[in-house]
Amino acid sequence: MSFKFHIFSKISAYLLGFVWILPLLYAFWAAFHPTEYATKFDLFAPLTMDNFVSAWDQAPFLSYMLNTVIITTLILVSQLFVCTLAGYALAREEFRGRNIAFALIMMQLMVMPEVLIVENYQTLAGLSLVDTHLGVGLPYLASAFGIFLLRQTFKTIPQELEDAARVEGLSGLAIIWKVFVPLAFPTYLAYSLVSVSYHWNNFLWPLVVTNTEASRPLTVGMAIFGAPESGVDWSVISAGTLIAIGPLLILFLIFQRRFIQSFMQAGIK
Amino acid sequence: MNKKVNLKAWALMLPALSLLIAFTHWPTLKSVFRSVTWAKSDMAPSQFVGLENYAMMLDDPVFWKVMENNLWYAIGTVPTSIALAIIMALWVNSKMRFTGLLRLAFFTPTILPMITVANIWLFFYSPNIGLFDQLLQMVNIDGPNWLGDPDLALPSLIFMTVWKEAGFFMIFYLAALQLLSVELYEAAKVEGASAWCIFRKITFPLLMPTTLFVLINALLNAFKLVDHLFILTKGGPNNASNLLLYYIYETAFSFLDSYYAATLTVVMLVMLAIIAFVQIFIFDRKIHYR
């Protein structure tokens, strides 16, 4: 009974793993074979790069990718800066209203900017920031999650280190920069990976707030590219998909362990 | 001295607080204000209409359809994702071979953009030539039109959502499993407890804090994961797979009715508030943050 159960369990595990990776495997299959093999499997089907060429010709991937990189970087840099300051204040400073400020910040964990697309769009229109990189990034420049993670990490840094730095003559921002930031490096790395994969993949808000190639990220571009109206075939769509997810996927495969540990670490806090 | 410290702290908080207030709290309040006003057009001045928008909402069959769908979406995705995540974590944490590859396979959907992989799923679900229908043809079954059939559109979305989020939740269980004490299990084995008994009496209860954390996240996902609708069904056929957030988007940006969209947004905020309430007053007594 137990032996049979183990065999069954193992087979199910590998089967489920296969099912889970199947969409990606299919994308590779369809992208590297001629269109007529998109819907039928043949081990000896000829390989081709044509689908990548036509995908590349049919959509401005380079500008999409550039936009995604700019937006993701803008958001990450701002988040690291803003969350460090707030995280430090919440972890190490005594001040009246701290609990209220913390509670206000934590609200964003529940009410994500995606939910408030209607009003945030109006705000952006009022600021004339629709269809700009800054506009796509703006609602995400501060992150409750980032503040929370850094606060938790900063709390564990011994007071003696801060006192020693003060004796050395460092003050204020210099202490944060020279003592807290280096010691919290694993948290920064973990948070950055989570943030980058979130914003590389974010769709709804960028869809609402971009109109042209000037600011449209990969996700929004891919939605237009893959729309049935645009009459692209499966093989070309698969090639486009691989182009779009390529950079993040390669990064993920190289730093797989780091990625998974980061998500774990970010989750347990 | 004390006052100076206060100023410094608030200066450090200022960038974060002002950004969060501008894009979370202020728009939350503005949604409530907008939901009790109405205007003929964008140009016309808006006027106070009390609860008229809400009355209209209660008469809107699409609203009720969307709420019902969201309920099924939550029922379909939350328990399934959690159960699968636990099983995946147990597998990946076990002594079988290729656990590294398994972990990779389960986790990969997490880092793939929903919107981009939806294009691949669109092919899987397409009638006759799609992967699922081709597999069914092998056993001589005429496959359905997954996304075109009102009874199957929502379950098809649910299936893809579970695929997307289960591996993400697995990570948290994996982290928790690795912290469980080995002695406990050895003791249980000495006592001759069966695998199922060990899971039910030891592992599952010890994973409870993780389950509560994952539950909250899965519930939030049930309201905010709508990206795949844009590719797979657009809420159709005839709203059979429409969800609240997608309906808010449609109302605001396709039907251009920002007042009704604000009203729907308030409903969404109430839903999120209920989840927050459950977390703070019921669960947080059991999970302790330092």
Minimum distance, in Å, between the CA of residue B151 and any CA atom of chain A? 22
Any idea what the CATH number is for the domain that residue A236 is in?
Answer: 1.10.3720.10
Nearest CA in chain B to A3: B195
For B109-128, what is each residue's pLDDT tens digit?
A: 988 888 888 888 888 888 77
Helix, strand, coil in percent for chain B, rounding step 5 = 75, 0, 25
Nearest neighbour of B114 by CB, restricted to A96, A113, A203:
A203
pLDDT at A227 exceeding the cut of 80? no
Minimum distance, in Å, between the CA of residue A81 and any CA atom of chain B? 9
Nearest neighbour of B15 by CB, restricted to A142, A263, A265:
A142
Please determine, for the modelled complex, whether the ipTM score is greater than 0.85.
yes
Is the Cβ of B107 closer than 8 Å to some Cβ of chain A? Answer: yes
Q: Assess if residue A192 is contained within a domain.
A: yes
Q: What are phi and psi of A165, to 5 degrees?
A: -65, -35
Which residues of chain B are within 8 Å of residue A238 when distances are taken between CB atoms?
A: 119-120
Cβ of B120 and A26 within 8 Å? yes
Interface contacts (A, B; CB < 8 Å) = 248
pLDDT for position A269: 53
Q: Cβ contacts of residue B247 below 8 Å, gap of 6+?
A: B62, B63, B66, B235, B264
Q: Assess if residue A135 is contained within a domain.
A: yes
**Architecture per CATH, B57-283:** Orthogonal Bundle (1.10)
For B231-274, what is each residue's pLDDT tens digit?
A: 888 887 888 899 999 999 999 898 888 899 999 999 999 999 88
Q: How many domains does chain A have?
A: 1
Minimum distance, in Å, between the CA of residue A142 and any CA atom of chain B? 5
For A89-106, what is each residue's pLDDT tens digit?
A: 998 888 888 888 898 898
Cβ of A20 and B163 within 8 Å? yes
Residue/partner pairs of A124-131 with CB below 8 Å, 24 or more apart? A124/A209, A130/A209, A130/A210, A130/A211, A131/A209, A131/A210, A131/A211, A131/A212, A131/A214, A131/A215
Contact B156, B232 (CB under 8 A): yes
Q: Cβ contacts of residue B29 below 8 Å, gap of 6+?
A: none
Q: Assess if residue A27 is contained within a domain.
A: no
Question: Directed axis angle between helix A144-155 and helix A61-92, to 10°?
Answer: 40
Q: Assess if residue A24 is contained within a domain.
A: no
Nearest CA in chain A to B209: A268
A228, two tokens? 């049935």
Average of pLDDT values for B281-286? 66
- Domain that includes residue A131, residue range: 54-268
Cβ of B6 and A14 within 8 Å? no
Nearest CA in chain B to A16: B106
Nearest CA in chain A to B42: A122
Nearest neighbour of B16 by CB, restricted to A93, A112, A142:
A142
> Which residue has better confidence, A18 or B197?
A18
Is the Cβ of B248 closer than 8 Å to some Cβ of chain A? Answer: yes
How far apart, in whole angstroms, are the C-alpha atoms of residue B189 and residue A183?
A: 42
Average of pLDDT values for B154-165? 92
- Domain residue spans in chain B? 57-283
Cβ of B109 and A39 within 8 Å? no
For A160-177, what is each residue's pLDDT tens digit?
A: 888 888 888 887 788 888
Q: Assess if residue A36 is contained within a domain.
A: no
Cβ of B224 and A120 within 8 Å? no
How far apart, in whole angstroms, are the C-alpha atoms of residue A214 and residue B162?
A: 34
Minimum distance, in Å, between the CA of residue A89 and any CA atom of chain B? 5
Q: Assess if residue A31 is contained within a domain.
A: no
Q: Assess if residue A204 is contained within a domain.
A: yes
Is the Cβ of B81 closer than 8 Å to some Cβ of chain A? Answer: no
For A153-163, what is each residue's pLDDT tens digit?
A: 888 888 888 88
Q: Assess if residue A240 is contained within a domain.
A: yes
What 8-state DSSP symbol labels residue A127? T
Is the Cβ of B12 closer than 8 Å to some Cβ of chain A? Answer: yes
